Amino acid sequence: MSSQSADAISSAAAYFTAPRKGLVWRSDVDPVALPPGGDFTPSQRAILAACVELFADVGYAGTSVRDIASRIGIKSASLYKSFASKQAMLDALSEIGHNEFGRRQISAVLAAGDDARDQLTAGVRALVVMTCEFPRLARIVNSEVRNLSPVGFERDQSARLQSAQITRDILERGLAQGVFREPDFAAVTVVLWGLGVALAGWYPYSTDVTIEQLADSYADIALRIVGAHGR
């Protein structure tokens, strides 16, 4: 880990714990960014972009349909032409976030080759890059699970299990290859997830670190956690 990256990460607590009103959003991060794709109309994406900002900063429970409509300059009743309910908007954001990360994680790991160390590095880098590009979406996906519909919750849990299984497969492969020490699979998965959740909270307000530096640093941390060796 470079000293510059280490210094940036060591200052993360200041960003994460300080009142957000006193912090300035990074100019190179779109505050309402959503991944491309998905079967959504332009109107639906505009509504979801408003939800990204409101749900992340005020919370799902603290946001009304009127708040969302006001943010994009339409009447509340008009929202229901695009989504059946506020919960349907949250479900859509959860689905978008999980689909995009699932695609990135699988693609990164498959492209990394057969070495479990490279696969773990690729998976963690995918997590960091996705979180930094879409920090508010990442916060919503991970903090509003209890407010999903039953169908949305089932989809959320399925996506998390798939992601965790990919990580477990990598760790087991590393054990078989003799490059990882005996890891606690569940603990490693939770730790990596927790690192990503915290990153979404402070990265948008940081000024002294790049996504690439963080991706390198977090990958190095992950390798240390599993006791990677042989290089």
Domain-located, residue 151? yes
CA atoms within 13 Å, Cβ hemisphere of 180: 27
Domain-located, residue 231? no
Q: Which of 133, 109, 135 is nearest to 121 (CA)?
A: 109
Q: Structural domain tally of the chain?
A: 1
From first to last of its 231 residues, the chain has per-residue pLDDT tens of 445 444 444 454 444 544 456 689 999 999 999 998 778 999 999 999 999 999 999 999 999 999 999 999 999 999 999 999 999 999 999 999 999 999 999 999 999 999 999 999 999 999 999 999 999 999 999 999 999 999 999 999 999 999 999 999 999 999 999 999 877 888 888 888 888 889 999 999 998 899 999 999 999 999 999 999 876
- The span from the CA of 180 to the CA of 187, in Å, is 15
Domain-located, residue 8? no
Domain-located, residue 200? yes
Domain-located, residue 198? yes
- 204: CATH: 1.10.357.10
Domain-located, residue 157? yes
Domain-located, residue 96? yes
The single residue listed with the structure tokens 């399925």 is 158
User: Which domain covers residue 158, as residue numbers?
Assistant: 17-225
Domain-located, residue 11? no
pTM of the model: 0.89
